[in-house]
Amino acid sequence: MNLLVIGRVALALALSWVGMGPLSADWPQYLGPTRDGVSPGGAPETWPPAGPQLLWKADVGSGFSGPVTHGDFVLLHHRQGDEEVLEAFDRKSGKSRWKAAQPTSYSDDFGFDNGPRGTPAVGGDFVYTFGAEGRLTAVSWADGKPAWTVPLGREHRADKGFFGFACSPLVVSNRVVLHLGGEDGAGIVAVDGKTGRLVWRSTSDEAGYASPILANLGGQQRLVCFTRAGVKVLDPADGRLLAGFPWRSRQGASVNAATPIVGPAGILVTSSYNTGAALLRWSGTSLERVWTDEEALSAHISTPVRRDGWYFGFHGRQEQGGSVRCFEGATGKMLWDSGRTGIGSVLMAGDRLVLMLESGELIQAEASGEGWKPLCRAQVLGSGVRAAPVLDGELFVARDRNRLFAYRIPRRAQ
């Protein structure tokens, strides 16, 4: 009788997962598969007042590093005691499958979180992590077996800045690209993904807190990097600097943290601290200013998203609250402002925005230039949410100060 009951329960669980739609699309890096906060597939369904279905939760250590997904795993880089730990959780049950640890003595100068900041990246056989002390590590994503580790920050005498090293690695072919801020031309570096050996270094820029992207500019693949000094376009093959555009906050104690977004109109960058946004056009040999506007968007921490000709993002300083804002990409004209919501992360799924607030509230809203139109909201996490979330198919994963949560958010049929 007990075996019969167990069998029925197992079958019910299996069928519930079969009916959940695409669950293995993978979210292998910061900001998702296309590194722009866009989740493939249709728009999510609205969830009930109690919120979306909780699948599992797990206790985790400190850090602002976001989760990623690959195959059967949810991967998280977090701090436990005196170690930075890359941990693989089973995506269906949340059970820990393996751990890979590196020692750390990082202590935040301002008393904030001491955990890692950069989100891991999966490429080929490995998953790459970049710790708060500037250590780049590769382990096998299948079993956590270490491949190599390189203390890039120390080797290139890079300054950890205000809040430690925070770049999320970018995997380009068999190379890993990072904003490092090192001396002797090691502002941006690329290392061999199999060995950790330095392949090239470029610029003398301080790192800031944004992460590099790979974009098609004029029919060619280029690296677009937003350092503390501004935008740099590089040849991914050798790191050769092709063009630059200065864009830095007007305050010394400031950061460039939002990653660039590339669309048909050009390259968008945005910073807080009374700086605003700029749209740049790639001419083939240079970056040309299309417009700059303080009122379009001043993003402090998170990267905006784009739908058609509209851009959506969090506007204002984190410690002063903030709002959600929409502006027209071609002109920079601000179309609407939500009023005070607080700061968080924003993702795009179909014609919907999925916003994870620092307070732990999850909001779904229309991605439209016609106004702020929230559709449903729920308190799903505790407070202090800084890490970028995952929306992989119907699997939503996010972390707060000490727990990792997985929810189901069904998608509407396309």
Q: Using 50, 70 and 90 to split pLDDT, how confident is the model at 254? A: low
The pLDDT, as a whole number, for residue 298 is: 93
Query: Mean pLDDT, to the nearest integer, of 343-371?
Result: 97
Can you say how many angstroms the Cα of residue 63 is from the centroid of all Cα atoms in its chain? 13
pLDDT of residue 6: 34
Q: What is the pLDDT of residue 414?
A: 65
CATH architecture of the region 2-408 = 7 Propeller (2.130)
Q: What is the mean pLDDT of residues 22-40?
A: 88
What is the pLDDT at residue 354? 98
pLDDT(115) > 70: yes
Which tokens is 54 given?
């909780």
Q: Give pLDDT tens digits for 272-325.
A: 887 899 999 999 999 999 999 988 999 988 999 999 999 999 999 877 789 999
pLDDT score for 406: 98
Q: Count Cα atoms within 13 angstroms, Cβ side, for 194.
A: 2
351-359 mean pLDDT: 98
Residue pair 134/165 in contact by the 8 Å Cβ criterion:
yes
Of all residues in the chain, the percent with pLDDT exceeding 90 is 85
Average confidence score pLDDT of the chain = 92
Residue 12 in this model has a pLDDT that exceeds 90: no
Contact 190, 176 (CB under 8 A): yes
Give φ, ψ of 129 to 5 degrees: -125, 145
In this predicted structure, what is the pLDDT of residue 110? 83
Give the tens place of pLDDT for each residue, 216-227: 999 999 999 999
**Is the pLDDT assigned to residue 3 strictly greater than 80?**
no
E strands within 8-125?
Answer: 38-39, 53-59, 68-70, 73-80, 83-90, 96-103, 121-123
Q: 151: which residues sit within 8 A by CB, 6+ positions away?
A: 133, 134, 135
Nearest to 345 by CA among 67, 49, 42, 41: 67
Confidence of residue 18 (pLDDT cuts 50, 70, 90): very low
Per-residue model confidence (pLDDT) at position 13:
35
Calpha distance 227→248 (Å, rounded): 9
Our measurement of the distance from residue 109's CA atom to the centroid of its chain's CA atoms, rounded to an integer in Å, reads: 23
pLDDT in tens, 159-214: 888 889 999 999 999 999 999 999 999 999 999 999 999 999 999 999 989 999 99
Residues forming a β-bridge with 231:
226, 245
Provide, rounded to the nearest whole percent, the portion of the chain with pLDDT above 70: 93
Token readout for 208 is 């800031």
Q: Token digits for 258? A: 């939002």
Mean pLDDT of 1-17: 36
> In sequence order, what are the residues at sequence separation of 6 or more whose Cβ sits closer than 8 angstroms to the Cβ of residue 373?
365, 366
**What is the average per-residue pLDDT within 337-356?**
97
Distance CA 13, CA 92 (A): 10
Which pLDDT does position 253 carry in this prediction?
63
pLDDT higher than 50, residue 19: no
Provide the residue type at 344 as one letter: G
Q: Which long-range contacts (CB under 8 A, 24 or more apart) does 264-271 make?
A: 265/290, 265/309, 265/329, 265/330, 266/290, 267/215, 267/224, 267/231, 268/304, 268/306, 268/311, 268/329, 269/226, 269/230, 269/231, 270/296, 270/297, 270/298, 270/299, 270/304, 270/313, 271/247, 271/298, 271/299
Domain boundaries, the chain: 2-408
